[in-house]
Chain A
Amino acid sequence: MISLAGRDILHSWGKFVLTGLGLGLLIGVTFTMAGVYRGMVDDAKVLLNNSGADLWVVQKDTLGPYAESSSIRDDVYRGILGMPGVAQAANVTYLTMQIRKGGTDVRAMVVGVVAGEPGEPAYLIAGRRVTRSHYEAVADVSAGFALGDSIRIRRHEYTVVGLTRRMVSSGGDPMVFIPLKDAQDAQFLKDNDAIVNERTRTAVNPALNRPGVPGLLDAIEASQTSNHNVNAVLVRVAEGRSPEAVAQDIRRWKHVQAFTREQMENILIAKLIATASKQIGMFLVILTIVSAAIVAFIIYTMTLGKIREIAVLKLIGTHNRTIASMIVQQALGLGLIGFAVGKVAATVWAPAFPRYVLLLPADAVTGFVIVMLVCVLASTLAIRAAITVDPATAIGG
């Protein structure tokens, strides 16, 4: 038995392939959209993974350090280190700022970490880890820095000694890792003019500059320029201990908030990128409807284009079912080409996006099923047109 659908496709295969190609690009856009959402979620997970922490200890009653600002004293970690079940605890600071690089600015999240402790990037793609306790940086490759580059954060020049990949904040800003003490300074260090003005302000305050107490002014100025705050303490739990139990202990006795990995993931995904993902979800729905409509119109016009041939088929007594299956087969074929082109296209252009686009195989399978379903649904319009055609049309009636 010959396949009428196959025959017809072969008859005008160029047109068919080109149509499939166009449809494929549209499907590629849809896949990319889903990939952008997956990428955002995955970025959040990578952010948590790479910090290497089991617990995040932050200021009480905050959802910090990513979703909300949090500030705790930098000696809190010592108390936490003494809690049972805590293997490692380290201070960490996060600050999103503009970093000067040559003549331009790069928006980046500056992370202050203690070498060898949680918070350091888990892996590098080039260079080495920070070995000096000051003025060295490990930067994410998406910030556009290269090894040996000199970057300026506030007053100091830092040398880029290592590169990471996919170390971005929840907002997509590349991370730059610098030693903790430098980061603490950078968070609170003002420019020189501001410091000089502040000193003058303090000096003219008669309560702070008292003639009878010679050293007071110096002491006050020194205390104004130092910073002993960090944003969070990252905790690694000892082997075999439940992070939740340790977190409960810390919450109860240290009067700070402690989040486990699951809670943190929930905060990042449910709170931080919730609106963005809804936005993308809405876009996905609209794209699916638009794709379905386009497939329907294409199949419909293709069917109308050979309405005479169909009338002839009907004239020679072909079953309606045969005609319908022919149209469905063509629609599925179109969908198949579209899916393949879309998947390839999405993969090809995904790396060009500024933020990570993650194309999951599971998403591809779901996409395939949806494409096929949409094609079947879209062909109903054409089937209706073909079935209701008057066989007399074949002889010009």
Chain B
Amino acid sequence: MRRSFALPRQVWFAVVGGALLLALAWVALRSGPLAPIQVTVTQVVTGEVSPALFGIGTVEAQRAYLIGPTTAGRVRRVLVDVGDTVTAGQLLAEMEPVDLDTRVASSLAAASRGQSLVAAAEAQERDARSRQTLATTEARRAVDLGQAGVISQSAVDTARQAQQSADAQVAAAEAALAGARRDLARLDADISGSQQQRGNIRLSAPVDGVVTSRAAEPGSTVIAGQAVIKLEDPGSLWISVRLDQGRSAGLRAGLPATITRRSDPLTHLQGRVVRVEPTSDAVTEERIAKVAIDRLPEGITTGEMAEVTLSLPSIRNALIVPNASLRHRGAQPGVWVHADGQLRFVPVKTGVEGLDGLVQILDGLKAGDEVVVYSDRDLTDGARISVVPVLRGADK
């Protein structure tokens, strides 16, 4: 039995040697730098590209109000707290009046004194008029007597002078009365001024809104313009979105938006761009757009981060390739076209790109061309390739 298997030793040796040589040849040609490069290919097709812009932003209030005093002072009381809903005109806080009340009293007293002065001026005017009447009568009588030669010319002149003097006194008394009246008007104005100042330290809500911050407590001193209460109009929440300038082509007001908040990633909110800011951020190279949410969700808060996808009108009948097939030769973008087992680098001009990775080709390819999508190594002209459905190691 054993003999029947005993092939000549030469044969055994030749088999082992041959196997070894074959393995060596396989190893030399199928691995290392000489091995063909595995690639996958796809056909250029005509289809639809749905370009979209993607940016991140924060929820902000379109209208926020900082309510504080117009002069420096101390806070007397604060009537609302964070989260309170307030109506227009509602008193929110009050500043310490310090001397404003006494100033009002002082101007009231000054005004009543002004009224007394007016009364005195009126009395003086009446006095002057009665003197004028008397002087006029006496002067007329003196003239008559003078013509009759009963009294001397000198006595007539004296009576005339007395009449003129009485006229002048009446004019003086009228002027003094008018002055006293104007003074009274000034003092009245002073009253309303100090009353207004007194009212100004009452901080009231300019609109309906929600208190977002209580920035000062009673007893603390604030400077002019510093906020004591911050208000927000809850209906005016929108998202300030920052978009990379390099990927913001087509951004305009009215674009529909899909919004995903970081705090609620499973809910996608709908909205639209209401404004593209006329100034961009020069440092971060971003454009800024405001996106309004169609229906504000419960519990949305300002400062929240949100991802915003803006859909641009899709382009039909475009030549499309996956963006993974785009390569660069120097600064020139292009694709490797696979035809007759050969590779050729074809420069292309690209158009818009969808978020799904499909790129519109404007120039350089035609429908049906076969292009390389993935490759195991960098491709060069005349590289040996083998076309596979999926690259080794890429299918996990």
* A residues lining the B interface (CB < 8 Å): 9-11, 13, 17, 46, 49-50, 52, 75, 87-88, 114-116, 118, 122-129, 131-135, 141, 146, 161-163, 165-166, 181, 211-212, 214, 228, 236, 238-239, 337, 340-341, 343-344, 347, 350, 358-361, 364
A129 touches B328 (CB 8 A): no
Task: Determine which of A13, A122, A128, A162 lies in contact with B328 in the assembled complex, contact meaning CB atoms within 8 Å.
Answer: A122
Stretch of B18-26, B118-126, B161-169 contacting A (4+ beta carbons < 8 Å) = B18-26
- Whether the pair A126, B375 counts as a contact (CB closer than 8 A) is no
List CB contacts (< 8 Å) of B349-369 with chain A: 353-357
Q: How far in angstroms is the closest Cβ of chain B from A151?
A: 15
Assess whether B307 is interfacial by the CB under 8 Å rule: yes
Given contacts A128-B322, A133-B247, contact A141 B394 (CB under 8 A): yes
Contact, CB under 8 Å: A131 / B357: yes
Q: Are B307 and A135 in contact (CB under 8 A)?
A: yes
A378 to chain B minimum Cβ distance, whole angstroms, is: 21
Is the pair A344, B32 in contact by a Cβ cutoff of 8 Å? no
Closest beta carbon of chain A to B371's beta carbon, Å: 13
Chain A residues, CB < 8 A from B377: 123, 165-166
**Are A131 and B355 in contact (CB-based, < 8 A)?**
yes
Residues 223-254 of chain B, each 1 if its beta carbon lies under 8 Å from chain A, else 0? 10111000000000000000110110000000
Query: Is the CB–CB distance between A344 and B23 below 8 Å?
Result: yes
- Tell me the smallest distance from the CB of A362 to a CB of chain B, in Å: 9
C-alpha spacing A175/B372, complex, angstroms: 23
Q: Which of B33-82 contact A (CB under 8 A)?
A: 33-34, 54-56
Beyond A13-B13, A161-B357, A165-B376, is A146–B396 a contact (Cβ under 8 Å)?
yes
| CB nearest to B322 among chain A residues | A128
Please tell me if the beta carbons of B283 and A125 are within 8 angstroms of each other in the complex: no
Q: How far is the CA of A10 from the CA of B223 in the complex (A)?
A: 107
How far, in whole Å, are A340 and B375 apart by their CA atoms in the complex? 30
Contact of B323 among A131, A135, A212, A344 (CB under 8 A): A131
Q: Determine if B324 and A340 form an interchain contact, defined as CB atoms under 8 angstroms apart.
A: no
Shortest beta-carbon distance, A128 to chain B, in Å?
A: 3
The answer to the question of B261 belonging to the interface, with a C-beta cut-off of 8 Å to chain A, is: no
Interface bracket on B: 35 or more
Chain B residues with CB below 8 A from A10, complex form: 9-10, 13
12 pairs, A vs B, C-beta closer than 8 Å: A13-B12, A13-B16, A123-B379, A124-B374, A126-B374, A128-B356, A129-B357, A131-B355, A131-B357, A343-B27, A358-B32, A358-B33
A13 to B12, CA, bound (A): 9
Q: Shortest 4 CB-CB distances between A and B: which pairs?
A: A128-B357, A126-B394, A87-B331, A132-B54
CB neighbours (8 Å) of A161 from chain B are: 357
Residue in A closest to B16 when the chains form the complex, CB atoms: A17
Report how far A33 CA is from B172 CA in the complex, Å: 123
User: Is B244 within 8 A of A165, CB to CB?
Assistant: no
Q: What's the minimum C-beta distance from B339 to chain A, rounded to whole angstroms? A: 19
Task: Verify A340–B23 contact, CB threshold 8 A.
Answer: yes
Contacts of B54 in A (CB 8 A): 131-134
Bound Cα distance from A131 to B331, whole angstroms? 20
A residues in contact with B56, CB < 8 Å:
134
Chain B contacts for A87, CB-based, 8 A: 330-331
Asked if B378 and A340 make an inter-chain contact with CB atoms under 8 angstroms apart, the answer reads no
Please name all residues of chain B whose beta carbon is closer than 8 Å to the beta carbon of A123 when the two chains form the complex. Answer: 324, 327, 374-375, 377-379
State whether the Cβ of B105 lies closer than 8 Å to any Cβ in chain A.
no
Distance A212 CA – B56 CA, assembled complex (angstroms): 34
Pair B374/A360 contact, Cβ less than 8 Å: no
Q: Is the CB of B394 within 8 A of A131?
A: no
Closest CB in chain A relative to B375 CB, distance in Å: 5
Most A CB contacts (10 A, CB to CB) among B56, B331, B353 go to B331
Q: Which of A133, A350, A358 contacts B244 (CB 8 A)?
A: A133
